[in-house]
């Protein structure tokens, strides 16, 4: 059953209509008003927002591309509910791809790309309120995407975008809606970690950039354990597999253990 929409009486203005509708839906998902697996019915959304079906359909396309929803043939669009194996696969691939991308970006990044990353870090430092969470997720995704793009490897970038669709970052942000007392500290930690990665890129130090990137993703892994109940042993098993593939990578925090079946 579809719940009351996030800010259902919000005025749609300024942006293209599809983006305004997307913003409302994005906030609804992060706030938990649309639970994982909930169906997003075009007719219902259109009625609640007082807009036609076309911008709603376009907004749902944006929601799918952002990794919050999925299209099911002949049934419609629903909020993504990734399985534990899907989450672990995505986590492992993020370690591998973002570590490699950070190394390459430290060598290839341009001054313009660095300026853009610094701007995103600066913006994220002010996103500390509950109503800032949707924008905080967008800024974080934009920063990670820009780092991978700065690697100079378009194929790596395309694969990364596919991987990111199955990583439940929105579920981690949604947890903060339920625990607002944790919000400011959590966002400050994320801001600091992003800043350290960008500092390493600016210094042109591939090894440090790779290490800071891995530390940041492993921190997300610990949040998967704490907030979503993903097994620590399973997470550490995936970290160990990356360490074995690339022995020079120093994956932080955790002793490799066999992943439970």
The pLDDT of residue 190 is above 60: yes
Q: Please give the helix or strand (H or E) that residue 239 lies within, else none.
A: helix 232-245
With a cut of 50, say whether residue 172 has pLDDT above it: yes
> If phi over 0 gives left and psi between -120 and 50 gives alpha, with beta otherwise, what is residue 166?
alpha
Q: Which percentage of the chain shows pLDDT scores above 70? A: 88
- Is 162 within 8 Å of 148 (Cβ atoms)? no
Banded pLDDT at 258 (limits 50, 70, 90): very low
Q: φ, ψ for residue 252 (rounded to 5)?
A: -80, 160
Please list, in sequence order, all residues whose beta carbon lies within 8 angstroms of the beta carbon of residue 181, skipping any fewer than 6 positions away: none
In this model, does residue 221 exceed pLDDT 70? yes
Report pLDDT digits (tens) over 111-170: 999 999 999 999 999 998 888 888 998 899 999 999 999 999 999 999 999 898 888 888
Domain-wise residue ranges, the chain: 17-79, 84-245
pLDDT of residue 253: 53
Alpha carbons 159 and 32: distance in angstroms, whole number:
29
Question: Does the pLDDT value for residue 260 go beyond 60?
Answer: no
**pLDDT band at 261, cuts 50/70/90?**
very low
242-258 in b/e form (b: 16+ CB < 10 A) is bbeeeeebebeebeeee
3 state DSSP class of 69: strand
Highest mean pLDDT among 32-46, 95-109, 162-176, 242-256: 95-109
What pLDDT was estimated at residue 188? 93
12 in Cβ contact with 51 (< 8 Å): yes
Give the span between the Cα atoms of 96 and 88, in whole angstroms.
12
The pTM for the full model equals 0.80
Residue range 17-79 forms a domain whose CATH class is mainly alpha
Architecture of the CATH domain 84-245: Up-down Bundle (1.20)
Alpha helices per DSSP H over 82-131: 84-108, 111-124
- Torsions phi, psi for 88 (to 5 deg): -65, -40
**Average pLDDT rounded to a whole number, residues 201-221:** 94
Q: State mean pLDDT over 205-221.
A: 93
């Amino acid at each position: 059953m579809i719940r009351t929409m996030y800010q259902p009486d919000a005025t749609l203005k300024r942006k293209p209509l599809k983006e305004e509708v997307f913003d409302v839906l994005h906030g609804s998902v992060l706030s938990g008003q649309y639970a994982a697996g909930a169906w997003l019915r075009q007719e219902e959304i259109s009625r609640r927002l007082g807009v036609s079906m076309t911008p709603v359909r376009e907004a749902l396309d944006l929601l799918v591309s952002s990794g919050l929803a999925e299209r099911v043939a002949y049934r419609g669009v629903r909020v993504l509910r990734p399985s534990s194996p899907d989450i672990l696969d995505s986590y492992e691939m993020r370690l591998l791809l973002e570590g490699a991308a950070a190394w390459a970006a430290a060598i290839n990044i341009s001054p313009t790309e660095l300026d853009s990353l610094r701007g995103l870090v600066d913006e994220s430092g002010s996103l500390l309120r509950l109503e800032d969470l949707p924008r905080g997720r967008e800024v974080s995704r934009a920063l990670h995407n820009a780092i991978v793009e700065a690697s100079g490897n378009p194929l790596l970038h395309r694969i990364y975008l596919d991987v990111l669709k199955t990583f439940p970052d929105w579920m981690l942000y949604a947890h903060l809606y339920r625990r607002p007392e944790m919000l400011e500290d959590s966002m400050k930690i994320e801001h600091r970690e992003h800043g350290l990665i960008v500092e390493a890129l600016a210094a042109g130090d591939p090894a440090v950039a790779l290490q800071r990137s891995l530390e940041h993703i492993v921190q997300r892994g610990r949040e998967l354990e704490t907030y979503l109940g993903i097994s620590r042993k399973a997470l550490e098993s995936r970290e160990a597999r990356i360490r074995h593939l690339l022995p020079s990578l120093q994956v932080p925090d955790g002793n490799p253990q066999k992943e439970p079946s």
